[in-house]
């Protein structure tokens, strides 16, 4: 169906807030090219379950459509209009299944060698949007903290190599009470600067007690949901004629209740957890992947002021089909490999925070848990330096932020 | 954050590889103006020439290989193989970045568009079909050793002028092992499959035929196979074990080996991805040593090593770094290739861009057949 034929009642399947937003902006949606609109609807249909930062950004993007003069439309969307779609894509129910449409569009773009054109169009669109509607600055400088190395007794691995050029390496850190210091620091920031989903604690293992002002998720707490998901994946894959596309469709149709993820009434956080498990690759089997991906998605979507990520040992590699089966009661862990995973995870967390607004004022700390090595980056931290002076984490935080 | 245009980044990748190799391995910068007919001067008759291709898969980035910080992961490529090779620092894959379809594109010289996850043959003629038809070679002279059931159709195309019975024979070592061990748990570590969609590797049939191959072709008893398999640690190690048996017993002139351990990266564990690169580095040297030590191969074999493609860069916010190859950015499209053997200039780096599809017509020119439907161009520096 062409986008110009969009009608209000076609959004009846959308959650209430999303439907309201779509109908209020129907005229703008009707003139968007079909190669573009479903990717917007994919976000819009989730509006009711989005974090405040995402809602604001979506509202501002849609509002920008309404502000464009007719002559600007060609400039903004001309490249998308040139993308050739197949008849089956045009007939697809992209209003009610925008995510599946985007999956099929992606395959179509690769197959027809239009991926590079689309990528260029999307990049240009992103740049224009960024210039016209600059993302909002945080009201308080951001801070991310990454704790690596839990369960590692000794390691010669050269930690934080990718981060060292960007900050100060501390090699004589007093580890005593380190984790408690960091958890208290996060809680104190949440109290001092309350913001819904503005402060996060992600644990790749068993989480510590969590302050009520902090959004908390952990790999251990999600174990029942992970096992239920794996059972569903296996069941689906054993059905005759099933394939990757069917599986993705089934996964995208899951609701938090299907995995018993109702989160004491927090539908937004429950939805976030569902997506981490159902859409993340490897998040169901490796705790290090879970922690890295959860941090990445929390930063990208919630754009928090504070994020604490603690990596824990993942299971040792086993045959993939076995790892994807419902977990054994005891699994062998790989602390040394997990340290390497977490080290890169720390770098990726820093990179992802740097992609957000306020990057110039943001701070970052990574610490080898229970050990005397840490690295900090921030506007006041000299880059590429090493300090062997005795310090504890509280001091390092005070010098960093 | 600085944004790079794809072309600038392509050149940047090539430049960093070239500079690094020149510094680290003392290589010289090559020029396409060298005199030609290298193969002719090698003195090896075209009919005796053999070619072995290894795809360094599935997908490895510069940071973990040829960039300065990655060299520790490829000590054997750096110290042993590159000094003996012509190294092409900028090989661009402009096709679909899925492992099966990309490997099929390498094998046909055409950017294939088949479904990456379906059990389908390539649509264009494969290098094996050109080789066998033009040179009238038997099926025993072209073999593919591939890790995943998903690669079982790669030996021959659906093209109307070629197709069934005219391509390479394909060995799937894991399938062979499954047949031999009947699913015994001791061998599970060698049977990992298809990291992107583990449950959906297309099924292949024919266990009896496979076990017969083991006995008659590889001269390997089921018990010996099982015993040796227990000493191996990964599917790619199993593949190389089979490759060595195949070289010894059948000595095919055209042998294609697809590595896949590296693709564990999709599960997001960086350490396992790097372990895969280190293992593949070691196995590449093992194959080269086998070429040097087998009388049927020594002195008359060209070895090509190239990744099917790269992986996403850390800088592209649309991806998640090493984990996938989904963005189509320059890092995921731009790779390298090395060629070693008689008639190949040693210790030379070429930084002009090549296409992944250039491999097949170049092999054709070396061995004396025409890859008439390939989209690629001859790599003159190797001819």
CB B312 within 8 A of CB B324: yes
| pLDDT score at B215 | 82
Chain B contact set for A155 (CB, 8 A): none
A247/B197 CB distance under 8 A = yes
B200/A340 CB distance under 8 A = no
When pLDDT is cut at 50, 70 and 90, the band that residue A103 belongs to is: confident
| pLDDT score at B63 | 87
A282/B193 CB distance under 8 A = no
Q: Which residues, numbered 293 to 312 in chain A, qualify as contacts with chain B under a Cβ-Cβ cut-off of 8 Å?
A: 293, 296, 300
Q: Select from B9, B271, B273, B327 the residue whose CB has the most chain A CBs within 10 Å, as the one to mutate to test that interface.
A: B271
Rounded distance between C-alpha atoms, residue A304 and residue A142, angstroms: 7
B220 conformational bin, left if phi > 0, alpha if psi -120 to 50, beta if neither: beta
B268/A281 CB distance under 8 A = yes
| pLDDT score at B209 | 55
CB A379 within 8 A of CB A388: no
Distance of CA B321 to the CA centre of its chain: 23
CB atoms within 10 A of CB A258: 14
What is the three-class DSSP state of B291? helix
The answer, for A237 touching chain B at a CB cutoff of 8 Å, is yes
What is the pLDDT averaged over residues A315-334? 73
When pLDDT is cut at 50, 70 and 90, the band that residue A204 belongs to is: very high
Buried residues in A160-182 as b, exposed as e (16+ CB within 10 A): bebbbebbbbbeebebeebbebb
| pLDDT score at A136 | 93
Rounded distance between C-alpha atoms, residue A5 and residue A7, angstroms: 6
A296/B320 CB distance under 8 A = yes
Peptide bond into B58 cis (omega under 30): yes
Chain B contact set for A317 (CB, 8 A): 264, 269, 272
For residue A359, give the chain B residue with the closest CA.
B1
Residue B56's nearest CA partner among B382, B276, B376, B383 is B276
Place of tokens 């993302």: A135
Chain A contact set for B320 (CB, 8 A): 293, 296, 348
| pLDDT score at B208 | 53
Chain B contact set for A247 (CB, 8 A): 197, 199-200
B96/A111 CB distance under 8 A = yes
A320/B328 CB distance under 8 A = no
Outline where chain B has alpha helix (H): 6-25, 38-42, 75-76, 99-108, 127-135, 173-181, 207-216, 222-229, 235-249, 270-293, 330-333, 359-367
State both tokens at B205.
Answer: 């049939």
| pLDDT score at A203 | 98
CA separation (Å) from B224 to B210, B214, B218, B281?
A: 15, 10, 11, 26
Rounded distance between C-alpha atoms, residue B139 and residue B171, angstroms: 13
Rounded distance between C-alpha atoms, residue B101 and residue A111, angstroms: 10
A275 conformational bin, left if phi > 0, alpha if psi -120 to 50, beta if neither: alpha
- Give the DSSP letter of residue A208: P
| Mean pLDDT (chain B, rounded) | 85
| pLDDT score at B198 | 47
When pLDDT is cut at 50, 70 and 90, the band that residue B1 belongs to is: very low
State both tokens at A80.
Answer: 């998308």
State both tokens at A11.
Answer: 């959004």
What is the pLDDT averaged over residues A2-31? 96
When pLDDT is cut at 50, 70 and 90, the band that residue B34 belongs to is: low
Place of tokens 């995921």: B332
| pLDDT score at B109 | 98
Residue A250's nearest CA partner among A261, A269, A263, A237 is A237
As a whole-number percent, the residues of chain A with pLDDT over 90 amount to 82
CB A159 within 8 A of CB A373: yes
For residue A284, give the chain B residue with the closest CA.
B267
Q: Is B10 a residue whose pLDDT tops 60?
A: no
φ, ψ of residue A59 in degrees (nearest 5): -60, -40
Place of tokens 């060609």: A74
Rounded distance between C-alpha atoms, residue A281 and residue B265, angstroms: 10
| pLDDT score at A245 | 66
Chain B contact set for A336 (CB, 8 A): 271
State both tokens at B120.
Answer: 């389908």
Q: Please tell me which of the candidates A112, A161, A319 has its beta carbon nearest to residue B192.
A: A319
φ, ψ of residue B86 in degrees (nearest 5): -90, 125
| pLDDT score at A115 | 82
CB A334 within 8 A of CB A316: yes
A324/B321 CB distance under 8 A = no
Q: Please tell me which of the candidates B268, B317, B324 has its beta carbon nearest to residue A286.
A: B268
Residue B146's nearest CA partner among B176, B170, B119, B179 is B170
φ, ψ of residue A389 in degrees (nearest 5): -70, 145
| pLDDT score at B7 | 44
Beta bridge partners of A308: A145, A201
B317/A355 CB distance under 8 A = yes
What is the pLDDT averaged over residues A104-133? 90
What is the three-class DSSP state of A174? strand
| pLDDT score at B8 | 45
For residue A344, give the chain B residue with the closest CA.
B270
In order, the DSSP letters of A96-109 are T-HHHHHHHHHHHH
Rounded distance between C-alpha atoms, residue A256 and residue A269, angstroms: 10
Q: Please tell me which of the candidates A234, A340, A347 has its beta carbon nearest to residue B271.
A: A340
pLDDT digits (tens, 9 = 90+) for B299-350: 999 999 999 999 999 998 889 999 999 888 888 999 999 999 999 999 999 9
When pLDDT is cut at 50, 70 and 90, the band that residue B2 belongs to is: very low
Chain B contact set for A285 (CB, 8 A): 267
For residue A300, give the chain B residue with the closest CA.
B317
| pLDDT score at A314 | 96
| pLDDT score at B287 | 98
When pLDDT is cut at 50, 70 and 90, the band that residue B9 belongs to is: very low
| pLDDT score at B110 | 96
Residue A265's contacts (CB-CB under 8 Å, 6 or more residues apart) are none
Q: Please tell me which of the candidates B197, B317, B327 has its beta carbon nearest to residue A244.
A: B197
When pLDDT is cut at 50, 70 and 90, the band that residue A350 belongs to is: very high
| pLDDT score at B4 | 32
State both tokens at B87.
Answer: 């190294």
State both tokens at A4.
Answer: 């110009």
Chain B contact set for A289 (CB, 8 A): 267-269
Terminal Cα-to-Cα distance of chain A (whole angstroms): 53
Chain B contact set for A353 (CB, 8 A): none
Rounded distance between C-alpha atoms, residue B173 and residue B170, angstroms: 9
B269/A243 CB distance under 8 A = no
pLDDT digits (tens, 9 = 90+) for A256-276: 999 999 767 899 999 999 999
Place of tokens 């092992």: B177
Q: Please tell me which of the candidates A242, A321, A341 has its beta carbon nearest to residue B270.
A: A341
As a whole-number percent, the residues of chain B with pLDDT over 90 amount to 59
Q: Is A93 a residue whose pLDDT tops 90?
A: yes
Q: Is B54 a residue whose pLDDT tops 70?
A: yes
For residue A106, give the chain B residue with the closest CA.
B326
CB atoms within 10 A of CB B131: 26
Q: Please tell me which of the candidates A243, A337, A343 has its beta carbon nearest to residue B272.
A: A337
Residue B10's contacts (CB-CB under 8 Å, 6 or more residues apart) are B90, B92, B330, B333, B334, B353
CA separation (Å) from A179 to A54, A371, B51, B148, B195?
A: 30, 11, 57, 44, 35
Q: Select from A155, A232, A234, A244 the residue whose CB has the most chain B CBs within 10 Å, as the one to mutate to test that interface.
A: A244
Buried residues in B220-238 as b, exposed as e (16+ CB within 10 A): beeeebbeebeebebbbbb
CB atoms within 10 A of CB A43: 17
Residue A257's contacts (CB-CB under 8 Å, 6 or more residues apart) are none
Half-sphere exposure of B365 toward its Cβ, with a 13 Å CA cutoff?
19
Write down all domains in chain B, each with its CATH number in brackets.
Answer: 6-376 (3.40.720.10)
pLDDT digits (tens, 9 = 90+) for B115-133: 777 778 999 999 999 999 9
B267/A285 CB distance under 8 A = yes
pLDDT digits (tens, 9 = 90+) for B85-98: 999 999 999 988 88
Shortest Cα distance, chain B CAs vs residue A79, angstroms: 17
pLDDT digits (tens, 9 = 90+) for B186-242: 666 565 554 555 444 455 554 455 677 778 888 888 888 888 888 888 889 999 999
Q: Please tell me which of the candidates A115, A319, A324 has its beta carbon nearest to residue B328.
A: A115
Place of tokens 């069941």: A235
The answer, for A283 touching chain B at a CB cutoff of 8 Å, is yes
What is the three-class DSSP state of B336? strand
B69/A113 CB distance under 8 A = no
What is the pLDDT averaged over residues A67-81? 93
What is the count of residue pairs from A and B with beta carbons less than 8 Å apart? 112
Shortest Cα distance, chain A CAs vs residue B202, angstroms: 9
Identify the weakest region by mean pLDDT among A52-56, B33-37, B249-253.
B33-37
| Mean pLDDT (chain A, rounded) | 93
Q: What is the dihedral of CA A163, B58, B74, B89, to 10 degrees?
A: -90
When pLDDT is cut at 50, 70 and 90, the band that residue A252 belongs to is: confident
What is the three-class DSSP state of A184? helix
Burial class (CB in 10 A: 0-12, 13-18, 19+), A194: exposed
Q: Is A236 a residue whose pLDDT tops 90?
A: no
Shortest Cα distance, chain B CAs vs residue A29, angstroms: 24
Write down all domains in chain A, each with its CATH number in brackets.
Answer: 3-132 (no CATH), 143-400 (3.40.720)
CB B228 within 8 A of CB B214: no
Beta bridge partners of A200: A215, A307
When pLDDT is cut at 50, 70 and 90, the band that residue B276 belongs to is: very high
CB B347 within 8 A of CB B42: no
Chain B contact set for A320 (CB, 8 A): 192-195, 198, 267
Q: Select from B3, B149, B268 the residue whose CB has the most chain A CBs within 10 Å, as the one to mutate to test that interface.
A: B268
A320/B317 CB distance under 8 A = no
Q: Which residues, numbered 339 to 358 in chain A, qualify as contacts with chain B under a Cβ-Cβ cut-off of 8 Å?
A: 339-341, 343-345, 347-348, 351-352, 354-355
B264/A322 CB distance under 8 A = no
Identify the weakest region by mean pLDDT among A340-344, B214-218, B369-373.
B214-218
Shortest Cα distance, chain A CAs vs residue B291, angstroms: 31
When pLDDT is cut at 50, 70 and 90, the band that residue B164 belongs to is: confident
| pLDDT score at B114 | 79
Shortest Cα distance, chain A CAs vs residue B118, angstroms: 9
Rounded distance between C-alpha atoms, residue A149 and residue A156, angstroms: 12
CA separation (Å) from A14 to A10, A17, A23, A45?
A: 9, 8, 11, 6
What is the three-class DSSP state of A367? strand
């Amino acid at each position: 169906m062409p986008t110009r034929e969009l009608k209000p009642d076609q959004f009846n399947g959308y959650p209430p807030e999303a439907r309201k937003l779509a109908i209020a902006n129907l005229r703008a949606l009707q003139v968007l090219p079909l190669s573009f609109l479903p990717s917007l609807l994919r976000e819009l249909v989730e509006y009711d379950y989005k974090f405040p930062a995402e809602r604001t950004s979506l509202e501002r993007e849609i509002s920008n459509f309404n502000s464009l003069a007719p002559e600007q439309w060609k400039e903004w969307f001309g490249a998308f209009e040139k993308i050739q779609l197949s008849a089956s894509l045009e007939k697809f129910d992209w209003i009610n299944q925008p995510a599946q449409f985007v999956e099929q569009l992606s395959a179509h773009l690769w197959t027809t060698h239009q991926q590079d054109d689309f990528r260029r169009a999307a990049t240009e669109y992103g740049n224009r949007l960024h210039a016209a509607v600059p993302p909002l600055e945080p009201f308080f400088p951001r801070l991310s903290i990454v704790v690596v190395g839990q369960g590692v007794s000794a390691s010669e691995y050269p930690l934080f190599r990718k981060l060292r050029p960007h900050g100060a390496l501390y090699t004589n850190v007093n580890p005593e009470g380190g984790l408690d210091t960091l958890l208290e620091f996060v809680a104190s920031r949440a109290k001092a600067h309350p913001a819904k989903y503005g402060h996060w604690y992600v644990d790749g293992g068993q989480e510590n007690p969590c302050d009520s002002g902090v959004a908390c998720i952990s790999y251990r707490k999600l174990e029942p949901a992970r096992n239920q998901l794996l059972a569903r994946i296996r069941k689906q894959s054993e059905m005759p004629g099933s394939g990757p596309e069917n599986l993705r469709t089934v996964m995208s149709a899951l609701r938090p209740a299907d995995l018993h993820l109702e989160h004491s009434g927090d539908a937004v956080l429950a939805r976030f957890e569902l997506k981490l498990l159902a859409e993340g690759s490897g998040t169901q089997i490796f705790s290090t992947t879970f922690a890295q991906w959860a941090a990445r998605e929390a930063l990208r979507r919630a754009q928090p002021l504070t994020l604490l990520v603690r990596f824990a040992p993942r299971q040792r590699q086993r045959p993939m089909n076995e790892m994807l089966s419902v977990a054994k009661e005891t699994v062998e862990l790989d602390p040394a490999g997990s340290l390497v995973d977490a080290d890169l995870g720390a770098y990726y967390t820093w990179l992802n925070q740097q992609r957000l607004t306020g990057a110039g004022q943001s701070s970052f700390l990574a610490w080898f848990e229970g050990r005397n090595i840490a690295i900090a980056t921030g506007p006041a931290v000299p880059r590429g330096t090493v300090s062997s002076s005795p310090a504890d984490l509280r001091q390092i935080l005070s010098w960093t932020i | 954050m600085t944004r790079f245009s794809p072309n600038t980044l392509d050149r940047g990748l090539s430049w960093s590889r070239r500079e690094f190799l020149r510094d680290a391995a003392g290589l010289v910068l090559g020029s396409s103006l060298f005199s030609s007919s290298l193969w002719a001067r090698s003195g090896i008759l075209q009919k005796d020439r053999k070619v072995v291709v290894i795809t360094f898969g599935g997908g490895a980035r510069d940071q973990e290989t040829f960039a300065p910080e990655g060299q520790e992961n490829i000590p054997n490529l750096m110290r042993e193989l590159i000094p003996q090779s012509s190294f092409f620092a900028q090989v661009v894959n402009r096709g679909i970045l899925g492992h099966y379809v990309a490997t099929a594109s390498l094998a046909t010289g055409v950017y294939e568009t088949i479904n990456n996850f379906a059990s389908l043959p390539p649509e264009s003629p494969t290098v094996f079909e050109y080789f066998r038809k033009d040179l009238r070679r038997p099926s025993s002279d072209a073999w593919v050793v591939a890790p995943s059931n998903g690669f079982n159709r790669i030996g021959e195309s659906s093209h109307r002028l070629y197709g069934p019975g005219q391509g390479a024979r394909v060995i799937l070592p894991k399938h062979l092992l499954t047949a031999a061990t009947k699913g015994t748990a001791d061998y599970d570590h060698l049977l990992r499959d298809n990291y992107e969609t583990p449950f959906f590797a297309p099924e292949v049939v024919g266990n009896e035929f496979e076990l017969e191959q083991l006995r008659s072709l590889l001269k390997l008893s089921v018990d010996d196979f099982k015993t040796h398999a227990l000493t191996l640690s990964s599917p790619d190690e199993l593949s190389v074990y089979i490759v060595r048996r195949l070289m010894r017993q059948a000595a095919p002139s055209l042998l294609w080996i697809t590595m896949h351990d590296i693709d564990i990266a999709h599960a997001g564990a960086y350490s396992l991805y790097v372990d895969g690169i280190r293992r593949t580095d070691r196995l590449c040297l093992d194959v080269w040593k086998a070429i040097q030590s087998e009388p049927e191969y020594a002195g008359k074999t060209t070895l090509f090593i190239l990744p099917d493609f790269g992986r996403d860069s850390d800088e592209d916010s649309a991806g998640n770094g090493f984990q996938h190859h989904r963005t189509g950015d320059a890092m995921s499209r731009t790779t390298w290739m090395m060629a070693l053997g008689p008639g190949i200039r040693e210790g030379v780096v070429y930084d002009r861009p090549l296409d992944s599809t250039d491999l097949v017509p170049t092999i054709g020119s070396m061995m004396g057949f025409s890859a008439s439907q390939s989209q690629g161009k001859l790599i003159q520096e190797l001819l």
